[in-house]
Structure formats: C-alpha cells, structure tokens
C-alpha cells in the first residue's frame, strides 16, 4: 500500500469497530413529522404529518416518484434538513438516541456517523475534491474519536474490495480520479465504516449499471445481516426495493400512503397510487403489453392540494369526500393505508371490488 496513513498508536479495538452483532439494531418511530421549505408562496410542506415506525433489524424501503418527499424524510431522520427547509413539527425517536429533532450541535454531529450512517442522494458529488478518499476517511475517523485508525482503514479497504474495487487505489485517489459508480461505492463505504447501527441510503445505486447495482444491493443485504443493522433505503426504483427490502413505505405528495411487508405491498397493493406505480412497471406487472403509465404528473410543493387527498387528481377511485377530507392512515392486516376507498372497502367487507 502506498498511502501514508498514520500508524495507530494503540492496537486496541475501537468500540466503533467492535465485532459485529454486539450492538442492537435500533428502531425508529417517526411521529406526525412535518417538514417545510420556504418558497415565494410561503412555507410549504414537503413532508406533511408523516408517522412511520421502522422496525429494528429490517431493511425498509421508501419508494415514490421524484418530488414525493423521500429525501426530505430521510434527511429528517438525521435532523439534517438544510435551509430553506426546516422541521416544523413532530418527532423522530431513535432507540439509543432519543428524539433527534431535539438534538443539536456536537451531539448531533456525533450521532451522525457513530449511530447513523448515511449516503445522501447524489453521493458521487459529495466528496471533498481536494483530499484523497483515504484522507477523508481518516478525518471522519478522527472526528468521531476512532482510536484504531489502522483498523478503520482495513475495514474501509475490505468494504471497497467487496464492492469490486481496488481498496488501496481508491483510498489513494481524489474524487476526479473516480467514476460516478466508484464514488457511489465510496459513499456507501463511508456510511458503513464507522459501524453505525442505523444506515440510511438515499438512491445508492442510481448512477450504476445493472451489474454494479446488483453487486451493491448484495453487499447492502450482506452487511445488513452480518452487522444486525436497521437499514432504510430510499429509491424511486420499485425493482430495487423489491430486491432488498423487508418492508416498504410508499410516499406521495409528502405522505406515506401505504406501508407494510414488501411482498404483500407489491403482491397485493391496496392504495390506488401503489397500484398505479406497479402497473407501470413491466417486470412487476408481468406483461410488457399490459404495463400502463400512471396518468398525470406528481404534484410540486406549489400544486399540492391543501385539503383532501393529495392523490385525488390522478386517482381513478376519487369520491366526493376525497376533495375535502385528508384520508387517515389506518392499519389492517399488517398494512397501513391512507385512502377513503380502502377504508370503505374494509368497513363494508367488499374487498374483492378492489382486488
């Protein structure tokens, strides 16, 4: 190896790189979370009163078209929403950390990395162009009090190699020497290397070709299992979500409209939006000829209805009540769905009408 990494003073194993399985996967409880962005029209909600429980040890996917609020929700779990955005209300309780909405300054910085590993969307552009990856890794380790920097470098190389890269070479490289796909993998390595127990990946495979994407998804699954993590994966690609997640939350217009076990949500979607999304994907709907694009476009902050159901403009089941009353998320058979039509079908036990 040609990198001049400082030799760690102590060979003791840092608690941050302790043997896998020693820490427990945290659960996350998001309650009534509202996140707004300041716009010329005033502060508008990108996440509107979302409640979502992420079970410890699961891989939970968040899916939905672009602009549905997935990244804003993911950033909120780190209390990392930046101006012109702000968390306006609600809480994000993470086991072992408490309500991260109330954390600030040093506590928050320590929590990120040590407890929460994350890859932001467009991670391939988030590296410091002036420093090698190895230097940034050491900065990360030092800022989180890692004693054994040698072990940290060893773990980083191991992760990079598992993702099909030459670890030593990548650590010696600057951002401009790496392709988009390589940077994406560096982002994933940085999210995992401090052994955080809650890992948030926002579109981690978007810039990658199919083969690299499959490799990354395999690594995410393997590391999740080996380390006993709780993992949240944000993706606009339902196929990706189908491959790796145990549970799926479907977002539309800043709401979670459906949430449940992935296979059940994809196999028998309840919400009209989930149904439309799945019908639009040939490899999930099963027949290319039958794949139908979802009509209309997702709302922007400025066009989001302020009352009633946010999906009604595009909904084939729209009813009068949908114009004025926001559907409540209701849980039925392990599935949480926010839709008046689904609610009625349960209360009248006429489910076959929507099957």
Binding residues for ligand ADP (CB under 6 A): 37, 39, 46, 64, 66-72, 84-85, 300-301
Indicate which of ligand SF4, ligand ADP, Mg ion, none lies near residue 68 (CB less than 5 to 8 Å, by partner kind): ligand ADP
Measured over the CA atoms of residue 155, residue 161, residue 165 and residue 166, the dihedral's sign is: positive
Least distance from Mg ion to the Cβ atom of residue 122, Å: 9
Nearest to 209 by CA among 249, 164, 175, 169: 164
CB of residue 90 to ligand ADP, shortest distance in Å: 15
CA distances from 217 to 162, 175, 190, 242, 310 (A): 12, 23, 16, 11, 32
Q: Give which of ligand SF4, Mg ion, ligand ADP, none residue 64 binds (C-beta under 5 to 8 Å, depending on kind).
A: ligand ADP
Residue 41 C-beta: closest distance to ligand ADP, Å: 11
Beta carbon nearer to ligand ADP, 71 or 212: 71
Nearer to Mg ion, 161 or 237 (CB): 237
**Of 220 and 315, which CB lies nearer to ligand SF4 in the complex structure?**
315
Q: Which of 14, 58, 76, 121 binds Mg ion (CB under 5 A)?
A: 121
Identity of the residue, 326 or 343, whose beta carbon is nearer to ligand ADP in the bound complex? 326
> In whole angstroms, how close is the CB of 233 to ligand SF4 at the nearest point?
25
Of 236 and 335, which has the nearer Cβ to Mg ion? Answer: 236
Subset of 109-128 contacting ligand SF4 (CB under 6 A): none
The residues in 213-272 that bind ligand SF4, with binding defined as CB under 6 A, are 272
Question: By CB under 5 A, which span of 62-70, 256-264, 295-303, 308-316 interacts with Mg ion?
Answer: 62-70
Judged by beta carbon, residue 119 or residue 165, the one nearer Mg ion is 119
Tokens representing 114 are 């040590």
Minimum CB separation of residue 286 from ligand ADP in Å reads 26
Query: Peptide bond preceding 84: is omega within 30 degrees of 0, i.e. cis?
Result: yes
What's the distance, Cα to Cα, between the start and end of the chain in Å?
59
Give the distance from CA 263 to its chain's centroid.
18
Max distance between CA atoms of the chain, in angstroms, equals 70
Cα separations in angstroms, 81 against 34, 240, 273: 12, 25, 27
Query: How far apart are alpha carbons 298 and 68 in whole angstroms?
Result: 7
Q: What is the nearest approach in angstroms of ligand ADP to the Cβ of residue 121?
A: 7
Binding mask 293-332 for ligand SF4 (x = CB under 6 A): ----------------x-xx--x-xxx--x----x-----
Separation of alpha carbons 194 and 141, rounded Å: 7
Q: Taking CB under 5 A as the criterion, which residues in 158-187 touch Mg ion?
A: none
Closest distance of CB 260 from ligand ADP, Å: 19
Q: Nearest approach, Cβ of 296 to ligand SF4 (angstroms)? A: 12
Tell me the site size for ligand SF4, rule CB under 6 A: 13
Q: Which of 163, 165, 234, 339 binds ligand SF4 (CB under 6 A)?
A: 339
**Which of ligand ADP, Mg ion, ligand SF4, none does residue 322 bind (CB under 5 to 8 Å by kind)?**
ligand SF4
In terms of C-beta density within 10 A (0-12 exposed, 13-18 middle, 19 or more buried), how is residue 283 classed? exposed
| Given 34, 68, 71, 197, the residue binding Mg ion (CB under 5 A) | 71
Kindly tell me which of 72 and 79 has the beta carbon lying closer to ligand ADP. 72
| Residues at the contact surface with ligand SF4, assessed by CB under 6 A | 272, 309, 311-312, 315, 317-319, 322, 327, 339-341
């Amino acid at each position: 190896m040609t990198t001049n990494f400082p030799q760690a003073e102590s060979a003791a194993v840092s608690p941050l790189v302790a043997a896998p399985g020693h820490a427990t996967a945290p659960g996350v409880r998001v309650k009534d979370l509202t996140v707004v962005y300041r716009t010329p029209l005033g502060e508008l909600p990108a996440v509107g009163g979302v409640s979502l429980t992420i079970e410890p040890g699961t891989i939970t996917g968040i899916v939905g078209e672009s602009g549905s609020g997935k990244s804003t929700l993911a950033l909120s779990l780190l209390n990392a929403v930046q101006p012109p955005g702000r968390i306006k209300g609600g809480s994000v309780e993470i086991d072992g950390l408490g309500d991260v909405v109330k954390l600030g300054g040093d506590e928050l910085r320590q929590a990120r990395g040590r407890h929460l590993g994350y890859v932001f969307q467009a991670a391939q552009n988030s590296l410091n162009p002036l420093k090698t990856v190895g230097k940034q890794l050491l900065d990360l380790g030092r800022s989180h009090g890692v004693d054994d920097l040698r072990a940290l470098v060893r773990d980083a190389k191991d992760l990079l190699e598992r993702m099909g890269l030459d670890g030593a070479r990548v650590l010696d490289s600057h951002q401009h020497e790496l392709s988009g796909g390589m940077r994406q993998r560096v982002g994933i390595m940085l999210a995992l290397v401090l052994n955080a127990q809650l890992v948030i990946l926002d579109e981690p495979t978007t810039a990658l070709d199919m083969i690299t994407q499959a490799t990354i998804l395999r690594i995410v699954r393997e590391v999740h299992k080996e380390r006993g993590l709780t993992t949240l994966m944000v993706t606009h690609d339902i196929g990706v979500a189908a491959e790796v997640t145990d549970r799926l939350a479907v977002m539309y217009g800043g709401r979670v409209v459906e949430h449940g076990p992935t296979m059940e949500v994809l196999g028998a979607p309840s919400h009209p939006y989930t149904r439309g999304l799945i019908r639009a994907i040939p490899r999930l709907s099963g027949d290319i000829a039958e794949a139908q694009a979802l009509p209309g476009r997702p709302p922007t902050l400025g066009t989001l209805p302020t009352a009633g159901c946010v999906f009604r403009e595009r909904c084939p089941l729209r009813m009068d009540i949908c114009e004025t009353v926001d559907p409540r998320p209701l849980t039925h058979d392990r599935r949480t769905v926010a839709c008046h039509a689904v609610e009625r079908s349960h209360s009248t036990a006429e489910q076959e009408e929507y099957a």
